[in-house]
Amino acid sequence: MSHFENGNYQVDVKPLKPLARSVSIIGVGATPFMNILKDENFHFLTEGELFGYAALEAMQDAGVTPKDVEYYFHGSATPQFASDYVTPNMQVANWFGMKGKASSSHSEACCTGYVALEQAVNLVASGAYDIVLTGGCETSVSHATPLHPAWMRRESTIEELLPALTMIWSKDYTLPSKAANAMCADAWLDYYAREYNLSHEVIDDVLCAMAKSNRKAAAINPLGGAHETYEEMGAQIGMSADEFLRSKFNPHASEYMRISNFELNVDGAAAAILCPTEMAYQFTDHPIEVLGTGHSCLEGGTARLEKYATAAAYKQIRDLTGLTGADMDLFLTNDFMMPSQLLSAEECEYLPRGEGWKHYLEDNNAYWGDKPINTNGGRCHYGHAHGASGLADVYEAVKQMRGEMGETQVKHPVKYAMLRGFGGGQNVTCSILRNLK
């Protein structure tokens, strides 16, 4: 149920129940986020090969074999549009040793990879299976050619993409064009700017600072989709990074957001292996426990749905664990519209309300700062392979918690990490991971 209270839309959600048994991540894997039509190392790979790459890497990381895996999930945001598949889990099984194994596929738009974690945790916690693989794969910059072999892909056009986006929004109450309307993504940011009396100039400064640090993180990440920093891009035409970000080369696409504040479409896959924590030490000395996932959904016609569903999902996980965003050492959030970084971090109490924008101006949210957010570069610069992106954040969180991220490793130990998922005006999740070492 939901209602209006003091002018704000409130969402009532049931309290989460504790897991029946503790569940931990014991292995992660991911492909680079790239364009399979242009990347010489992944040229024309099929989705089965991409998913298998991430799945087998996760198994190797966990110290298990395909024979050990009892069940797997396959996540994809747009399987029919991008892949010409209805049951993609059954199109990839033979690529990583899952012939005959139980599996299922799911799609929750850009929240798919975060729901993938939740589903795997719940399955293991139930006791039905002990070792579960959960993965996501998306070929976001190309799609299948019907009635042709899977490797015969072609670039997607904007004319094909925009109608496809409307498929994730209800047409009962919402204009079909709304999903592709950049102005809609400004709604929460505009509310925030008005609430705290922030000018367009201040918001522009914040978003440009955010883009600059995120781009640097992605450019030096070996799996990232962007390979040049804004400093490097500006230098090529005699500009500083700040000049470049405010120039005609980075124009506004909505009231607040510039081109650098929108997702970078890429192809990619990511996966994780989970098992009961009591078994985890058979495979690794560094398991990462999943404490739970808050989850709320609001239909796309709801004004500022991302804000209210985030608040509801966060409340669930906060009440379950007794932990707040302030207790977190790392915050990862789905930011295919870049302002979501700031807005969701404040909504989840990782940053102080009304003050988070100041952190960005001081680079405090970069991987080298005290309150790191999206240390992989986020969806706008690391890249957005829609159904795989949430699991790419799981990969990033686990690697950061182990201290294995190299140049972009945060400067303090990561005991707790929060992952906030959002996708398609429907699913919003909030998960907390705990480092057991």
* pLDDT for 142: 84
Token pair 């972009």 in the structure block, residue: 408
Residue 190: CB atoms within 10 A of its CB come to 17
Question: Which residues does 98 contact at the CB level (< 8 Å), separation at least 6?
Answer: 66, 69, 72, 92, 133
Paired strand residues for 71? 102, 132
Q: pTM for this structure?
A: 0.95
* pLDDT for 179: 46
- In this structure, are residues 271 and 133 in contact, taking their beta carbons and an 8 Å threshold? yes
Q: Could you please report the per-residue DSSP string of 185-236?
A: HTHHHHHHHHHTT--HHHHHHHHHHHHHHHHHHHHTSTT-S--S-HHHHHHT
Report how far residue 47's alpha carbon sits from residue 67's, in angstroms, rounded to the nearest whole number: 22
* pLDDT for 55: 98
Question: Which residues does 100 contact at the CB level (< 8 Å), separation at least 6?
Answer: none
Q: Any idea what the Cα angle at residue 437 is, between residues 114 and 23, rounded to 5°?
A: 40
Question: Which residues does 147 contact at the CB level (< 8 Å), separation at least 6?
Answer: none
Report how far residue 107's alpha carbon sits from residue 121's, in angstroms, rounded to the nearest whole number: 17
* CA-based max dimension of the chain: 61
* pLDDT for 231: 97
Per-residue pLDDT of the chain (437 residues; tens, 9 = 90+): 344 444 466 777 899 999 999 999 999 999 999 999 999 888 888 889 999 999 999 999 999 999 999 999 999 998 877 888 888 899 889 999 999 999 999 999 999 999 999 999 999 999 999 999 999 999 988 888 888 888 888 888 777 777 777 777 766 765 544 444 544 678 899 999 999 999 999 999 999 999 999 999 999 999 999 999 999 999 999 999 999 999 999 999 989 999 999 999 999 999 999 999 999 999 999 999 999 999 999 877 777 889 999 999 999 999 999 999 999 999 999 999 999 999 999 999 999 999 999 999 999 999 999 999 999 999 999 999 999 999 999 999 999 999 999 999 999 999 999 999 998 768 999 999 999 99
Report how far residue 3's alpha carbon sits from residue 10's, in angstroms, rounded to the nearest whole number: 6
Report the b/e string of 219-228 with b at 16+ CB within 10 A: bebebbbbee
State residue 25 phi and psi, 5-degree precision.
-85, 130
CA dist 70 to 50, 99, 133, 262, Å? 20, 11, 8, 38
CA dist 49 to 46, 284, 301, Å? 5, 26, 37
CA dist 232 to 235, 236, 252, 275, Å? 5, 7, 21, 43
Residue 354: CB atoms within 10 A of its CB come to 13
